Amino acid sequence: MVERKPPVLRSNHGPVITLLVGLATAIVLFVLGANAATEELDSRNASATVAPPATTAPAPPATTAPAPPAKIRVAYAGRVDGGAATIAIAIRDGAAIAYLCDGRRVEEWMLGTAADGKLSLSGDDAVLTGSYDKDSAAGTVTAGNKNWTLDIPVAKKPTGLYRSTADIRNARVVTGWIVLANGEQVGIANTEGRLAPAPRLRLPSGSATVNGSRVTADAIDGSTGAGF
């Protein structure tokens, strides 16, 4: 008779050893990653003198804690090449938020990372890759089946990215605005998937009237942490 019972494991320690080996591997990788991070932060700090002008909140001097994450807080805004849409990117300590918007039919919120001068963000149906420095951000953004190149300058308030989220008559409305250096505003109000041009954003208060209700927008510029 062939036994159809599952074979009995000979060693009882195998699974535990597997776990321990996995844990050890994770620790080694973690330490390697932490070292790489420290080196990268050092090199970032070394170039911290080129800190972007949008850094309104200077990093507090490190008194006790060793090496907090590099305080790179900056925003960029402008039109994609060809001018078909606007885009804004905000960076805060390695994290990045971007908003692509044509003011009518196309909008994409993207999240991702900004590290070592490189941007890597993605959204529901969009991907942005590129680079950034103290003056500008450049790269390519793909949304749906379209893609654009971009090279946009640093944004100084009130130029930049704004976002409000509100529940208006039982519908979640997320509105994004990009305010360009010439004062032009490009935005979309998204009422649970239905897109409409955003109403005018009153600055500097950041208030607007969306679907008949007054909402307040947060400036997503990396320095306040709003939106991150």
Partner 1 sequence: MGRPVLDSDREASAADRVVLLLVPLLIGSAVAVALGVYGRLHTPTGIAVSVAGFSSPQTVKVWLASGSALFALLQLASALVMYGKVRWIAAPRWIGAAHRWSGRVAFLLSIPVAVHCLYALGVQSYDTRVLVHSMVGCLFFGAFTAKMLLLARRGLPGWALPLAGGVVFTALVTMWLTSSLWFFTTVGVQF
| Interaction site with partner 1 (CB under 8 A) | 2, 4, 6-7, 9, 12-16, 18-19, 21-22, 25-26, 29-30, 32-34, 36-37, 40, 69, 93-96, 109, 111, 113-116, 120, 122-125, 127
In angstroms, what is the minimal distance from the CB of 83 to partner 1?
25
Q: How far apart are CA 223 and CA 39, in angstroms?
A: 24
Q: Taking the CB of residue 149, how many other CB atoms lie within 10 A of it?
A: 12
In angstroms, what is the minimal distance from the CB of 21 to partner 1?
7
> Residue 93 or 151: which CB sits closer to partner 1?
93
Sequential DSSP letters for 8-49: PPS-SSHHHHHHHHHHHHHHHHHHHHHHHHHHHHHHHHHTGG
In angstroms, what is the minimal distance from the CB of 200 to partner 1?
27
Return the beta strands (E) in the chain as ranges. Answer: 73-79, 86-92, 95-101, 107-115, 118-123, 126-132, 136-143, 146-153, 160-168, 171-179, 185-191, 194-197, 207-210, 213-216, 218-220
Provide the β-strand partners of residue 114.
119
> Residue 106 or 181: which CB sits closer to partner 1?
106
In angstroms, what is the minimal distance from the CB of 22 to partner 1?
6
- Residues in the chain, how many? 228
In angstroms, what is the minimal distance from the CB of 40 to partner 1?
6
In angstroms, what is the minimal distance from the CB of 202 to partner 1?
27
Cβ-contact 170, 211 below 8 angstroms: no
In the chain, the amino acid numbered 176 is G
> Residue 116 or 133: which CB sits closer to partner 1?
116
Cβ-contact 178, 185 below 8 angstroms: yes
